[in-house]
Amino acid sequence: MTVRILIKGATGRMGGNLVKTIASNEQTTLAYAIVHQSASEVGKNVDLFPEVTYSTELEAATDFDVAIDFTTPESTLATLAHCQKLKKPLVIGTTGFNNEQKELINQAAKEIPIVFAANFSVGMNLMFKLVEKAAKVMGSYADIEIIEAHHHNKVDAPSGTALALGEHICKALDKNLDDVAVKERNGIIGPRTKEEIGFSTIRAADVIGEHTVWFADIGERIELSHKVSDRITFARGAVHAALWLAQGQETKLYDMTNVLGLDKL
């Protein structure tokens, strides 16, 4: 069976890589390429899929198996509502959602299967499991710091992946990230507390994505790092998630840990 995929944000950085990945995968084809109304490509044919035109008409896009959205929170929520109405599965790679918006996704997952992940690379999802293991061993006494770097056009900080790393650490330590996260340090702030998890953000040039977690004790520290050199890594993971959803997963909210079976490690 060929899985027909709708891409929202098809001319963006991720959108272009998703189109390439779909074209190179024998199991997938592009059903719709949805773009913002300001995109210069509106009405033009997609190079790798000449039978598909770039369109702004999400509501008219109904003949697809799975949707993938890497855009903005507001745009993604429109895709979410559309998929709910059609009872279609959805892959969400957008970051920057607030708690209220995340709750809308949680509620929608009671009606349609959704893969919602901060990062779709296999390596980063393995790192999520590794930081959980490290936290169980060192988290009760080590200072924990998360450093992330991205390109200068990224609009949210800390990155969704950095926050996800914090969530996985807190899961292992039975803590709430909102209670222990320190995202800003400036001026005379006093000594570091043992409870806090610090976040440091770098925005520079064309850095695609780099994340490092420190578990630091007096005299030694563990550093776990992941670096991405090509966005196609994320696209391959997202298409893998779309194919997994198309196999008929039950109505639920999933992440890449589920898609890759990492909980079995």
**Annotated binding-site residue? 219:** no
**Annotated binding-site residue? 13:** yes
Active-site residue among 150, 168, 175, 226?
A: 150
As a whole number of Å, the CA-based R_g of the chain is: 19
- Going by DSSP bridges, is the β-strand pair 253-254/181-182 parallel, antiparallel, or unpaired? unpaired
**Annotated binding-site residue? 36:** no
Q: 154 an active-site residue?
A: yes
* DSSP state letter for 16: H
Q: What is the rounded CA–CA span in Å between residue 29 and residue 135? A: 41
The number of residues making up the chain comes to 265
**Annotated binding-site residue? 233:** no
Q: What is the rounded CA–CA span in Å between residue 66 and residue 88? A: 6
**Annotated binding-site residue? 82:** no
**Annotated binding-site residue? 76:** no
Helix (H, G, I), strand (E, B) or coil at 127: helix
**Annotated binding-site residue? 117:** yes
Active-site residue among 20, 36, 129, 154?
A: 154
Both tokens assigned to 195: 């409870």
**Annotated binding-site residue? 95:** yes
**Annotated binding-site residue? 160:** yes
Residue 6 burial by CB count (10 A; 0-12/13-18/19+): exposed, middle or buried?
buried
Binding site as annotated, residues: 9-14, 93-95, 117-120, 151, 160-161
Question: Residue ranges for the binding site for (S)-2,3,4,5-tetrahydrodipicolinate?
Answer: 151, 160-161
Write out the catalytic residue numbers: 150, 154
Binding site feature residues for NAD(+): 9-14, 93-95, 117-120
